[in-house]
Structure 1
Amino acid sequence: MKEQYHRWHSPNLNLDVEMLVFGDRGYPVLLFPTTKGAYYQNKDHGLIDSVRWFIDEGLVKIYCPSTFDDITWYDKGIHPADRARRYAWYNKMLLEELAPWAMHETGVGKVAVAGCSFGGYHAANFAFKHPEKVGHLFSMGGAFDIRMFTDGYYDDNIFYNNPVDYLPRSDNWALWQMNIILGTSDWDICKEYNLTLSHILNNKNINHWLDIRPDGKHDWPIWKEMFSHYLSTIK
């Protein structure tokens, strides 16, 4: 399995971004780590190995960027407005730098986005904000209401990065073209967030699969089962 390390200076963040890339061809998948996770976290926890067959067969090429949770939503040392503003810059980096890079390298006109736990938020937010760029969304144990990090403060950056707020008002045609899978389980601490998001999608008649697995917990073993299953739905 081909593995490459990349580091570049992002003009949107004015910071360096690190990333691991797995594979040499196939549908591009942006795979986000969990809370404060580094770019190598999904490899270290076995999520990449769980889908090795798809990579070796050239079906997918997986991009694992670093996140900046510690200086955005999780930075309690700055005002919530600054947390949201910094996250908006991160989103611009994904939109203007990483997604075009992945599409250019693979020759595919859209990306898939995926992530476990808080990585599921990153994936879902990018997909619902920019559905014309995303063909597939795979969230595993995700939570989708960012207001838990804003201490009661609210502004446009929070609204437009909080899927449960902006999605009900969105009429972007590409939402109805996306393959959306929300993975959760009976004992998932984020199960209610998935039920809420599924309800919003149902109210908009947006087709999706709410995958509730029996007895599973909010942890890597079930996410590895989910991820390999979900990649098999990419056409």
Structure 2
Amino acid sequence: MEEKHIKYYSHHLGRDIEMLVYGSWGYPILVFPTTLGRYYQAKDMGLIESVRGLVDSGKYKIYCIDSVDADSWYAKHLNPEARVLNHIQYDKFLTNELVPYIRNECRVDKIGVAGCSFGGFHSANFAFRHPDTVAYLVSMSGAFDIRNFMDGFYDDNVYFSNPVDFMPNEQSWRYNHMKIVLGTSDWDICLESNIKMSNILSSKGIDHWLDIRGWEKHDWQLWNKMFPDYLSRIM
């Protein structure tokens, strides 16, 4: 499987941010790491190997991006306003720099996004904030309420980074084109979060697939089964 390491300088972040890219062609899927994870996490934990056949066949091209969690949601050394502002800069990097680069490289109008656990939050939050740039969302064991990271602080930036808050007020037509998968399991610590998010989407008439699997824990063994299954079905 073709692998390419990229250092991408972000003007919004003011530094290099690293990626691993798998495949030479195919529909692009941007993969976010779990909590405080790095760009190589999906490779190390077997997620990339799980979709080798889909990548080698040219169906998908996978972009594994670095996180800035240590400077944003998990930056307890910063005040809450600074944490969310750092996330907003990351969102601007994705929206204005990385995603246009991926769209141009793959010659598509919209991309796919995916992630496990906290990466599931990142993928869903980005897709729901920017439906004009996302066609496919695969969130595996994600949680969708960020307020417990904010120590009581709340402003518009928190609101628009918190899908359980802003999605009930969104217009459903903006998501009619998007294929949405919320994957979870009976033993998943994020089961209730996924049911709640599914209920919000259902109340808006937004089509999606809530997949609750049996008796597996919130871990890579589950996600490495989910990811190839979801990618093989959504296109």
TM-score (norm 1): 0.98
1:31 and 1:150 mapped to 2: Cα distance?
A: 25
Report SS of the residue matched to 1:96.
helix
Q: Which amino acid is 1:151 matched to?
A: D
Q: Residue in 1 aligned with 2:234?
A: 234
SS at match of 2:86: helix
Output one character per residue of 1:46-71: Cα deviation in whole Å (capped at 9) or x when no partner.
00000000000000000001000001
2:177 alignment partner AA: Q
- Aligned with 2:234: secondary structure? coil
For 1:145, the equivalent position in structure 2 comes to 145
Change (3 A) 1:200 1:172: closer
Aligned to 2:23: 23
- The Cα of 1:173 is off from its aligned counterpart by 2.6
Q: Which residue of 1 aligns with 2:50?
A: 50
Structure 2 match to 1:7: 7
Distance of 1:111 and 1:16 partners within structure 2: 22
The DSSP-based 3-state class of the residue aligned with 2:51 is helix
The match for 1:190 is 190
Unpaired stretches in structure 2, ≥5 consecutive residues: none
Q: Matches of 2:101 and 2:9 in 1, distance apart? A: 14
CA distance in 2, matches of 1:176, 1:199: 16
The residue correspondences of 1:1-235 to structure 2 (distance < 5 A) are: 1-171=1-171, 173-235=173-235
- Amino acid aligned to 2:15: L
- Pairwise CA distance, 1:8: 2.1
Deviation at 1:234, TM superposition (A): 3.2
Paired with 1:156 and 1:171, the residues of 2 have a C-alpha distance of 18
Identity of paired residues, percent? Answer: 53
In structure 1, distance between residues paired with 2:13 and 2:199: 34
- Number of residue-to-residue matches in the alignment: 235
Amino acid at match of 1:83: R
Secondary structure (helix, strand or coil) at the match of 1:74 reads: coil
Could you say what secondary structure the match of 1:233 adopts? helix
The amino acid of 1:185's aligned partner reads S
Instruction: Say whether the 8 Å CA contact 2:31–2:114 is kept in structure 1.
Output: yes
Map Cα deviations across residues 81-116 of structure 1 (whole Å, 9 max, x no partner).
110111001001111111111111111111000000
Residue 16 of structure 1: how far off its partner (Å): 1.4
Over 4 Å off, 4+ runs: none
Deviation at 1:174, TM superposition (A): 2.9
Any idea what SS the aligned residue of 2:161 has? coil
Contact kept, 8 Å, 1:127 with 1:137, in 2: the verdict is: yes
Aligned-partner residue type, residue 101 of structure 1: Y
Cα distance between partner residues in 2 of 1:163 and 1:19: 26
Give the aligned residue type for 1:61: K
* Paired AA for residue 223 in structure 1: W
User: Deviations for 1:107-161, whole angstroms, at most 9, x for unmatched residues?
Assistant: 1111000000000000000000001110100000100100010001101110011
Q: TM-score, normalised by structure 2?
A: 0.98
The alignment yields a C-alpha RMSD, in angstroms, of: 0.8
CA deviations 1:16-43 (Å, max 9, x no partner) are: 1000000011110000110000000000
Q: Quick one: which amino acid aligns to residue 6 of structure 1?
A: I
Gaps of 5+ in 1: none
Tell me, in whole angstroms, the C-alpha distance in 2 between the residues paired with 1:117 and 1:22: 21
SS of the residue aligned with 1:232?
helix
